[in-house]
Amino acid sequence: MEYGAAIMVLASVVMLGQGCTDLGPLRTGTELDEMKVYYSDAVVFGVVKGITPSETTGIKNVEFEVVCSYKGNVHTKTIYITGVGNRNGEMPGCPKVKVEKDEQVVFFLKRLPSRSSDPWFEAEFAPLRGDSSIFLDDMTVVCGLDLTTGGEVMEADVCFEPIGEEDCEMYYPPTTMKPRASTMKPKTTAAPTNPITKGPPVDEGSEPENDEGKTDDTKGSYATQTVKPKPSRGGAENSKTGTSTGEKGGSTRQAAVSLIAILLSLFVAILV
């Protein structure tokens, strides 16, 4: 035991300072088992074999004998766990972890990179304590568990089989940001105008023009050739009186004939 304690103190010099996972406001001290399992690298049930102080005041190291590995495929019989204690918040943002020697608990662990042959972990959440038959029964309904008792891990009847994946309780991590509703109005695109079919504006009250007499100019537009009608002889319209010249000439001749007839009548009357 003294040899094991010496290893724990020596290794803690290297291992401490890692810290638990920063979960922000998700850490409440009363996390559900499914959340603990979700965020942990390893979940093990076993016995606390020894407790020794670490370099950091208020933080202790634990020698732990694994009986059942529920996550992380921990095959080694003995592992070492730091981050225990933290009663006064010596490791900010990490849980308060209280255990006693020879106590049976479930540890939720974060795997640490070890520079020695001994597997080191850090307490990620507060362990499950009390009646092992009760807390193991409650925990094994959580999704994400995979019971391992092979290798050096002791096979024991106390290792509860996890419930099937179809009936287990799943943990869904909360989203950090809610999608914002778009306030932008949809952009409308005007229908393209076909330049080939584009033509001059048409007056709705006018009759369609006759294409005869239209010729293409150099720019591709149409030039309208206007032909004035020739006035007929003796029948052209007078723009001021509105009467034709033929009608005016006939009236003059009739007046002259009448005047000659009157003069002849007077001349005959004088002779008689």
pLDDT of residue 197: 54
Mean pLDDT of 72-84: 94
Half-sphere exposure of 129 (CA within 13 A, CB side): 11
Whole-number average pLDDT of the chain: 76
Nearest 5°: CA angle at 80, between 162 and 57?
Answer: 125
Has residue 3 got a pLDDT over 50?
A: no
135: left (phi over 0), alpha (psi -120 to 50) or beta: alpha
**Complete domains list, the chain, with CATH:** 2-139 (2.40.50.120)
Mean pLDDT of 79-99: 93
Measured CA to CA, the distance from residue 61 to residue 71 in angstroms comes to 21
Mean pLDDT of 9-37: 76
Provide the pLDDT confidence category of residue 6 given band limits of 50, 70 and 90: very low
Tokens standing for residue 116: 């020695």
Measured CA to CA, the distance from residue 115 to residue 206 in angstroms comes to 98
Residue-wise pLDDT for 111-154, tens only, equals 998 767 889 999 999 999 999 999 999 999 999 999 987 555 55
Residue-wise pLDDT for 142-157, tens only, equals 999 999 875 555 555 6
